[in-house]
Amino acid sequence: MVNLPKYVDPRVLVGIETSDDAGVYLLRDDLAIVQTLDFFSPLTDDPYAFGQIAAANSLSDIYAMGAQPLTALNIACYAPCVPLSVMGEVLRGGADKMAEAGVALLGGHTVENADFKYGLSVTGVVDPKKIIKNSGAQAGDSIILTKQLGTGIMSTAYKAGLADEPHMQAALNTMAELNKAAAEVFAAYDVHGGTDITGFGLLGHAVEVARASGIEIVLTASELLLLEGTLKYAAMGLIPAGAYRNAEHFGSSVSIDPAVPEALVDACYDPQTSGGLFFTLPPEAADQALLALQQAGVTAAKVGVCREGNAGRVVTVASPTQLLAEFML
């Protein structure tokens, strides 16, 4: 753990202290800028699809803060062994996804590197009173999760040559999907807190929300939405190394009911690429938002609740009946 020197600026509304999705800096009373950066190695042989996924993943952090992305810069590590035509397709995929999001590409930077990587630095804006922070969840909130889980397991199965083509294509489609439509629906409701689900997996990011907000989270395993084939491949042992690291790092803050199948536990720790939004809202607002999300064609489910209890802890139960019993404790 590296302790960085602190520079205190009262205009920093969200910094590095709570491991939130993006930084927020106050420009004036009604306007703040939101900044983030993310890039990673290819997870598909299709360069255009990789460009789309990398861009959607980078943009997601802005949506997760309740903000609107405006501009972006490409960041790429270019491997000399990769044909320029492949690099061009990656950049075209990213540019098309930015155009879909209404984001202006202002430029970027490329360095030569043995490992090929691509992503974006994104700047957005938000009303300071409407920032969605991972520290904002409140006891009594319901939790809505958008998108299906399982992209890490699916990518691992694909690399092993064991993923069915329709299963992998569905994973690529969900990773390339912007969280824009979901964010626009949530903007009409009183979202208290949240994040997006990426490299730390569902349980890791839930722990971060619980810690930052000083509450306990109870998740219902049976309500989680999974990509088809996820449990099959997990049961075959096709688990990415990141899932084991997530379990090791966050496991001491997680309690899982023995009735939850092991393959589903693996899916809950599975590191996601360009995953969904994990937002907490008052119960009535959550019911309304879930209906609006479904009407907008967004894959979403109500997957748990927030409560007072052991702050920073996540409890995973198997069924809604167990959730009710657990919530009454």
List, by residue range, all CATH 3.90.650.10 domains of the chain: 142-327
Confidence of residue 3 (pLDDT cuts 50, 70, 90): confident
Confidence of residue 322 (pLDDT cuts 50, 70, 90): low
Report strand pairing: 104-112 vs 68-78. parallel
Q: What is the pLDDT of residues 179-233, one digit of tens each?
A: 999 999 999 999 999 999 999 999 999 999 999 999 999 999 999 999 999 999 9
Q: Are 54 and 98 in contact (CB under 8 A)?
A: no
For the chain, how long is the longest CA-to-CA vector?
60
Measure the CA dihedral 120/63/151/108, to 10°: 0
CA distance 103 to 70: 5
Read out DSSP for 69-114?
Answer: EEEEEEEEEE-TTS-HHHHHHHHHHHHHHHHHHT-EEEEEEEEE-S
Name the E strands within 113-207: 117-126, 142-146, 193-196
CATH superfamily of 12-130: PurM-like, N-terminal domain (3.30.1330.10)
CA distance 251 to 157: 24
| 168 pLDDT more than 70 | yes
Confidence of residue 318 (pLDDT cuts 50, 70, 90): confident
In 3D, which of 254, 249, 275, 258 has the Cα closest to residue 210? 254
Confidence of residue 325 (pLDDT cuts 50, 70, 90): low
Indicate the length of the chain as a whole number: 329
Question: Percentage of residues in the chain with pLDDT exceeding 90?
Answer: 89
In 3D, which of 98, 109, 24 has the Cα closest to residue 54? 98
List, by residue range, all CATH 3.30.1330.10 domains of the chain: 12-130
Question: What is the pLDDT, as a whole number, of residue 328?
Answer: 47
Alpha helices in 15-76 (DSSP H): 47-64
CA distance 163 to 55: 24
In 3D, which of 121, 77, 67 has the Cα closest to residue 98? 121
Q: What is the pLDDT of residues 97-146, one digit of tens each?
A: 999 999 999 999 999 999 999 999 999 999 999 999 999 999 999 999 99
In 3D, which of 268, 299, 302 has the Cα closest to residue 284? 302
| 161 pLDDT more than 60 | yes
Place of tokens 């590197």: 113
Note the pTM of the prediction, 2 decimals.
0.93
Question: Percentage of residues in the chain with pLDDT exceeding 70?
Answer: 96
Pick the CATH number of 142-327 from 3.40.50.720, 3.90.650.10, 2.40.480.10, 3.30.1330.40: 3.90.650.10
Letter string b/e over residues 255-270, b meaning 16 or more CB atoms within 10 A of that residue's CB: ebeeebeebbbbbbbb
Question: What is the pLDDT, as a whole number, of residue 309?
Answer: 87
Higher-pLDDT residue of 227 and 17 is 227
| 324 pLDDT more than 60 | no
Radius of gyration over every alpha carbon of the chain, rounded to an integer in angstroms: 19
In 3D, which of 323, 278, 270 has the Cα closest to residue 145? 278
Report strand pairing: 216-220 vs 314-317. parallel
Q: What is the pLDDT of residues 65-95, one digit of tens each?
A: 999 999 999 999 988 888 999 999 999 999 9
Question: What is the pLDDT, as a whole number, of residue 1?
Answer: 59
Read out DSSP for 107-125?
Answer: EEEEEE-SS-EEEEEEEEE
Question: What is the pLDDT, as a whole number, of residue 321?
Answer: 52
Higher-pLDDT residue of 8 and 34 is 34
Question: What is the pLDDT, as a whole number, of residue 29?
Answer: 96
Question: What is the pLDDT, as a whole number, of residue 129?
Answer: 96
